[in-house]
Amino acid sequence: MKGEGFLTRNISSFTHTLESVISTEDLCRALGLLQGLDPRVKVATFVLFIVMVGLARSLSILAIIFVLILTLSFLSKVSLGFFLKRVLLFIPIFTAVIALPALLITPGSPLVAIAGKIIITEQGARTAGLLFLRVTDSLSFGVLLILTTPWTKILVALRWFRIPPLLVDILGMTYRYIFLLLHTANSMFLARRSRTIGSFSGGENRRWLARALTTTMAKSQHLSEEVYLAMLSRGYQGEVRVLNALSLKRRDFLWVAFALIAASILLWSNHL
Protein backbone atom coordinates (compact mmCIF):
# COMPACT_ATOMS: atom_id res chain seq x y z
CA MET A 1 0.00 0.00 0.00
CA LYS A 2 1.12 3.54 -0.74
CA GLY A 3 0.94 4.80 2.85
CA GLU A 4 2.55 1.67 4.21
CA GLY A 5 5.36 1.89 1.68
CA PHE A 6 6.01 5.51 2.67
CA LEU A 7 6.23 4.60 6.35
CA THR A 8 8.23 1.44 5.77
CA ARG A 9 10.88 3.25 3.73
CA ASN A 10 11.32 5.96 6.37
CA ILE A 11 11.36 3.53 9.29
CA SER A 12 13.92 1.41 7.48
CA SER A 13 16.07 4.47 6.78
CA PHE A 14 16.04 5.65 10.40
CA THR A 15 16.71 2.17 11.74
CA HIS A 16 19.61 1.68 9.33
CA THR A 17 21.15 4.97 10.47
CA LEU A 18 20.94 3.98 14.14
CA GLU A 19 22.44 0.56 13.42
CA SER A 20 25.27 2.22 11.49
CA VAL A 21 26.12 4.34 14.55
CA ILE A 22 26.28 1.26 16.76
CA SER A 23 28.59 -0.55 14.35
CA THR A 24 30.84 2.52 14.23
CA GLU A 25 31.17 2.49 18.02
CA ASP A 26 32.18 -1.18 17.82
CA LEU A 27 34.92 -0.30 15.33
CA CYS A 28 36.34 2.29 17.72
CA ARG A 29 36.85 -0.47 20.30
CA ALA A 30 38.42 -2.97 17.90
CA LEU A 31 42.03 -4.08 18.40
CA GLY A 32 43.39 -2.41 15.27
CA LEU A 33 46.37 -0.26 14.36
CA LEU A 34 44.73 3.16 14.55
CA GLN A 35 42.46 2.35 17.51
CA GLY A 36 45.50 1.97 19.75
CA LEU A 37 46.93 5.42 19.00
CA ASP A 38 46.50 8.53 21.10
CA PRO A 39 43.70 10.69 19.60
CA ARG A 40 45.91 13.80 19.68
CA VAL A 41 48.50 12.01 17.57
CA LYS A 42 45.86 10.81 15.12
CA VAL A 43 44.30 14.24 14.71
CA ALA A 44 47.67 15.92 14.17
CA THR A 45 49.04 13.33 11.73
CA PHE A 46 45.79 13.06 9.77
CA VAL A 47 45.71 16.84 9.36
CA LEU A 48 49.31 16.59 8.13
CA PHE A 49 48.30 13.92 5.62
CA ILE A 50 45.38 16.03 4.38
CA VAL A 51 47.74 18.98 3.87
CA MET A 52 50.05 16.68 1.89
CA VAL A 53 47.10 15.60 -0.24
CA GLY A 54 46.37 19.25 -1.02
CA LEU A 55 49.99 19.82 -2.05
CA ALA A 56 50.23 16.70 -4.23
CA ARG A 57 50.49 17.49 -7.93
CA SER A 58 50.62 13.99 -9.36
CA LEU A 59 47.80 11.54 -10.01
CA SER A 60 50.09 8.62 -9.21
CA ILE A 61 50.99 10.09 -5.81
CA LEU A 62 47.33 10.62 -4.95
CA ALA A 63 46.57 7.05 -6.03
CA ILE A 64 49.39 5.75 -3.81
CA ILE A 65 47.99 7.75 -0.90
CA PHE A 66 44.58 6.12 -1.42
CA VAL A 67 46.22 2.68 -1.40
CA LEU A 68 47.91 3.68 1.87
CA ILE A 69 44.52 4.66 3.30
CA LEU A 70 43.03 1.31 2.32
CA THR A 71 45.99 -0.45 3.95
CA LEU A 72 45.48 1.50 7.18
CA SER A 73 41.78 0.66 7.04
CA PHE A 74 42.55 -3.05 6.70
CA LEU A 75 45.08 -2.97 9.56
CA SER A 76 42.50 -1.18 11.72
CA LYS A 77 39.93 -3.99 11.28
CA VAL A 78 37.64 -1.79 9.15
CA SER A 79 35.88 -3.70 6.39
CA LEU A 80 36.93 -2.32 3.02
CA GLY A 81 33.37 -2.54 1.69
CA PHE A 82 32.03 -0.71 4.74
CA PHE A 83 34.73 1.94 4.40
CA LEU A 84 34.43 2.47 0.64
CA LYS A 85 30.66 2.78 0.85
CA ARG A 86 31.04 5.72 3.23
CA VAL A 87 33.81 7.36 1.24
CA LEU A 88 32.59 6.96 -2.33
CA LEU A 89 28.85 7.37 -1.87
CA PHE A 90 28.25 11.14 -1.95
CA ILE A 91 31.06 13.69 -1.89
CA PRO A 92 33.47 12.15 -4.45
CA ILE A 93 30.56 11.54 -6.84
CA PHE A 94 29.40 15.14 -6.37
CA THR A 95 32.98 16.32 -6.94
CA ALA A 96 33.21 14.24 -10.11
CA VAL A 97 30.11 15.99 -11.44
CA ILE A 98 31.73 19.37 -10.69
CA ALA A 99 34.96 18.26 -12.34
CA LEU A 100 33.26 17.10 -15.55
CA PRO A 101 33.25 20.59 -17.16
CA ALA A 102 37.04 20.68 -16.83
CA LEU A 103 37.19 17.73 -19.21
CA LEU A 104 35.41 19.73 -21.89
CA ILE A 105 36.54 23.34 -21.50
CA THR A 106 40.22 23.08 -20.51
CA PRO A 107 42.42 23.81 -23.53
CA GLY A 108 45.36 21.58 -24.32
CA SER A 109 46.50 18.50 -26.19
CA PRO A 110 43.63 16.39 -27.56
CA LEU A 111 42.91 13.14 -25.75
CA VAL A 112 39.54 12.24 -27.24
CA ALA A 113 38.36 13.69 -30.54
CA ILE A 114 35.23 12.93 -32.53
CA ALA A 115 34.86 13.97 -36.19
CA GLY A 116 37.93 16.16 -35.92
CA LYS A 117 36.53 18.06 -32.94
CA ILE A 118 38.37 17.92 -29.62
CA ILE A 119 36.07 16.59 -26.88
CA ILE A 120 38.50 15.95 -24.01
CA THR A 121 42.04 17.28 -23.55
CA GLU A 122 44.88 15.73 -21.60
CA GLN A 123 45.12 18.82 -19.38
CA GLY A 124 41.37 18.71 -18.70
CA ALA A 125 41.46 15.03 -17.77
CA ARG A 126 44.41 15.63 -15.44
CA THR A 127 42.69 18.59 -13.75
CA ALA A 128 39.48 16.63 -13.19
CA GLY A 129 41.43 13.62 -11.92
CA LEU A 130 43.43 15.72 -9.46
CA LEU A 131 40.28 17.31 -8.05
CA PHE A 132 38.49 13.98 -7.68
CA LEU A 133 41.43 12.17 -6.05
CA ARG A 134 42.23 15.05 -3.70
CA VAL A 135 38.66 15.16 -2.40
CA THR A 136 38.51 11.36 -2.14
CA ASP A 137 41.80 11.10 -0.22
CA SER A 138 40.97 13.97 2.13
CA LEU A 139 37.52 12.59 2.86
CA SER A 140 38.97 9.10 3.37
CA PHE A 141 41.34 10.35 6.08
CA GLY A 142 38.46 12.09 7.86
CA VAL A 143 36.20 9.03 7.69
CA LEU A 144 39.00 6.75 8.89
CA LEU A 145 39.66 9.05 11.85
CA ILE A 146 36.00 9.01 12.89
CA LEU A 147 35.62 5.24 12.42
CA THR A 148 38.64 4.43 14.60
CA THR A 149 38.31 7.08 17.32
CA PRO A 150 35.49 7.59 19.85
CA TRP A 151 33.86 10.97 19.36
CA THR A 152 34.55 12.05 22.96
CA LYS A 153 38.28 11.45 22.48
CA ILE A 154 38.30 13.46 19.27
CA LEU A 155 36.75 16.36 21.21
CA VAL A 156 39.37 16.01 23.96
CA ALA A 157 42.11 16.13 21.31
CA LEU A 158 40.57 19.27 19.78
CA ARG A 159 40.60 20.99 23.17
CA TRP A 160 44.24 19.99 23.65
CA PHE A 161 44.98 21.85 20.40
CA ARG A 162 43.28 24.93 21.89
CA ILE A 163 40.11 24.81 19.79
CA PRO A 164 37.59 27.18 21.52
CA PRO A 165 35.64 25.26 24.19
CA LEU A 166 32.28 26.60 23.00
CA LEU A 167 32.84 25.16 19.51
CA VAL A 168 33.93 21.81 20.94
CA ASP A 169 30.89 21.69 23.24
CA ILE A 170 28.55 22.43 20.34
CA LEU A 171 30.11 19.64 18.29
CA GLY A 172 29.81 17.21 21.18
CA MET A 173 26.17 18.06 21.93
CA THR A 174 25.21 17.98 18.25
CA TYR A 175 26.75 14.55 17.74
CA ARG A 176 25.18 13.14 20.90
CA TYR A 177 21.64 14.43 20.51
CA ILE A 178 21.18 14.09 16.77
CA PHE A 179 20.85 10.35 17.35
CA LEU A 180 18.32 10.90 20.10
CA LEU A 181 16.24 12.95 17.65
CA LEU A 182 16.65 10.20 15.05
CA HIS A 183 15.34 7.70 17.59
CA THR A 184 12.40 10.01 18.37
CA ALA A 185 11.53 10.34 14.70
CA ASN A 186 11.84 6.59 14.24
CA SER A 187 9.42 6.05 17.13
CA MET A 188 6.95 8.47 15.54
CA PHE A 189 6.98 6.54 12.26
CA LEU A 190 6.56 3.22 14.08
CA ALA A 191 3.68 4.61 16.14
CA ARG A 192 1.87 5.83 13.03
CA ARG A 193 2.38 2.57 11.19
CA SER A 194 1.04 0.53 14.12
CA ARG A 195 -2.14 2.64 14.03
CA THR A 196 -2.55 2.74 10.25
CA ILE A 197 -5.31 0.84 8.47
CA GLY A 198 -5.48 1.27 4.73
CA SER A 199 -3.45 3.67 2.61
CA PHE A 200 -2.91 7.42 2.48
CA SER A 201 -2.55 9.78 -0.42
CA GLY A 202 0.64 11.69 -1.12
CA GLY A 203 -0.92 14.90 0.23
CA GLU A 204 -1.90 13.22 3.51
CA ASN A 205 1.61 11.83 3.91
CA ARG A 206 3.13 15.26 3.31
CA ARG A 207 0.80 16.92 5.83
CA TRP A 208 1.63 14.29 8.44
CA LEU A 209 5.35 14.67 7.73
CA ALA A 210 5.09 18.46 8.15
CA ARG A 211 3.38 18.00 11.53
CA ALA A 212 6.02 15.44 12.55
CA LEU A 213 8.85 17.82 11.63
CA THR A 214 7.22 20.63 13.59
CA THR A 215 6.83 18.38 16.63
CA THR A 216 10.43 17.22 16.38
CA MET A 217 11.71 20.81 16.20
CA ALA A 218 9.64 21.78 19.25
CA LYS A 219 10.96 18.75 21.16
CA SER A 220 14.55 19.59 20.23
CA GLN A 221 14.13 23.18 21.43
CA HIS A 222 12.62 22.02 24.72
CA LEU A 223 15.31 19.37 25.13
CA SER A 224 18.13 21.88 24.54
CA GLU A 225 16.78 24.15 27.28
CA GLU A 226 16.45 21.25 29.74
CA VAL A 227 19.94 19.96 28.97
CA TYR A 228 21.50 23.39 29.43
CA LEU A 229 19.76 23.89 32.79
CA ALA A 230 20.87 20.41 33.87
CA MET A 231 24.46 21.24 32.91
CA LEU A 232 24.36 24.49 34.91
CA SER A 233 22.99 22.69 37.96
CA ARG A 234 25.94 20.27 37.77
CA GLY A 235 28.59 22.97 37.71
CA TYR A 236 29.06 23.66 34.01
CA GLN A 237 31.24 26.76 33.55
CA GLY A 238 31.84 26.86 29.82
CA GLU A 239 33.90 23.71 29.32
CA VAL A 240 33.10 20.00 29.60
CA ARG A 241 35.50 18.01 31.76
CA VAL A 242 36.47 14.40 31.05
CA LEU A 243 37.81 11.80 33.47
CA ASN A 244 40.07 9.79 31.14
CA ALA A 245 43.53 11.34 30.89
CA LEU A 246 45.46 10.95 27.64
CA SER A 247 49.01 9.66 27.60
CA LEU A 248 51.54 9.02 24.84
CA LYS A 249 53.01 5.57 24.36
CA ARG A 250 55.86 4.09 22.34
CA ARG A 251 53.60 3.23 19.40
CA ASP A 252 52.44 6.85 19.23
CA PHE A 253 56.02 8.04 18.71
CA LEU A 254 56.56 5.32 16.10
CA TRP A 255 53.42 6.46 14.26
CA VAL A 256 54.57 10.10 14.35
CA ALA A 257 57.93 9.04 12.90
CA PHE A 258 56.14 7.11 10.14
CA ALA A 259 53.86 10.07 9.38
CA LEU A 260 56.80 12.49 9.15
CA ILE A 261 58.77 10.15 6.88
CA ALA A 262 55.74 9.60 4.64
CA ALA A 263 55.08 13.37 4.46
CA SER A 264 58.73 14.01 3.60
CA ILE A 265 58.61 11.43 0.81
CA LEU A 266 55.46 13.04 -0.59
CA LEU A 267 57.02 16.50 -0.54
CA TRP A 268 60.16 15.17 -2.22
CA SER A 269 58.05 13.40 -4.87
CA ASN A 270 56.36 16.68 -5.77
CA HIS A 271 59.69 18.10 -6.92
CA LEU A 272 60.64 15.19 -9.14
Does residue 59 belong to any structural domain of this protein?
A: yes
**Torsion sign across C-alpha atoms 19, 20, 22, 27:** positive
140-189 confidence digits (pLDDT tens): 999 899 889 988 888 888 888 888 888 888 888 887 777 777 777 777 77
Q: Are residues 16 and 48 in the same domain?
A: no
d(CA 158, CA 56): 26
Query: What's the pLDDT at 236?
Result: 76
**Residue 254: band (very low, low, confident or very high) from pLDDT cuts 50, 70, 90:** very high
Per the model's pLDDT, the better-predicted residue between 9 and 63 turns out to be 63
For residue 27, the tally of other CB atoms under 10 A from its CB is: 20
- Does residue 51 share a domain with residue 131? yes
Among candidate residues 70, 91, 73, the one with its CA nearest the CA of residue 32: 73
Residues 140, 44: one domain? Answer: yes
User: Do 144 and 255 have their domain in common?
Assistant: yes
The answer to whether residue 187 sits within a structural domain is: yes
pTM of the model: 0.76
Q: Would you place residue 264 in the very low, low, confident or very high pLDDT band (cuts 50, 70, 90)?
A: very high
d(CA 188, CA 177): 17
Distance CA 85, CA 100 (A): 22
> Which residue has better confidence, 238 or 35?
35
pLDDT at 237: 74
Query: Looking at the structure, do residues 255 and 135 belong to the same domain, yes or no?
Result: yes
- For residue 257, pLDDT beyond 60: yes
Residue 163 lies in a domain: no
- What confidence score (pLDDT) does residue 2 get? 47
Shared domain for 68 and 135, answered yes or no, is yes
Whole-number pLDDT of residue 231: 80
Tell me which residue range forms the domain holding 215: 1-29+172-241
Tell me, what's the pLDDT at 1?
Answer: 46
Are 47 and 130 members of one domain?
Answer: yes
Asked if the structure places residue 160 within a domain, the reply is no
The more confidently predicted of residues 203 and 151 is 151
Q: Is 169 left (phi over 0), alpha (psi -120 to 50) or beta?
A: alpha
Mean pLDDT of the chain: 80
| The amino acid at 271 | H
Residue 223 sits in the same domain as residue 270: no
Residue 251: what pLDDT?
93
Q: What is the DSSP string of the chain?
A: -HHHHHHHHHHHHHHHHHHHHHHHHHHHTS--TGGGS-HHHHHHHHHHHHHHHHH---HHHHHHHHHHHHHHHHHTT--HHHHHHHHHSSHHHHHHHHHHHHHHH--SSEEEEETTEEEEEHHHHHHHHHHHHHHHHHHHHHHHHHHHS-HHHHHHHHHHTT--HHHHHHHHHHHHHHHHHHHHHHHHHHHHHHT--S---HHHHHHHHHHHHHHHHHHHHHHHHHHHHHHHHTT--SS---S------HHHHHHHHHHHHHHHHHHHHHT-
> pLDDT for 208-247, tens place per residue?
778 877 887 888 888 888 888 888 888 877 766 666 677 8
pLDDT of 8 over the 70 cut: no
Name the domain count of the chain. 2
Residue 259 maps to a domain: yes
**Assigned domain for 69 exists:** yes
**pLDDT of 77-114, one tens digit each?**
888 888 887 787 766 677 777 777 766 666 666 666 66
The pLDDT value given to residue 256: 95
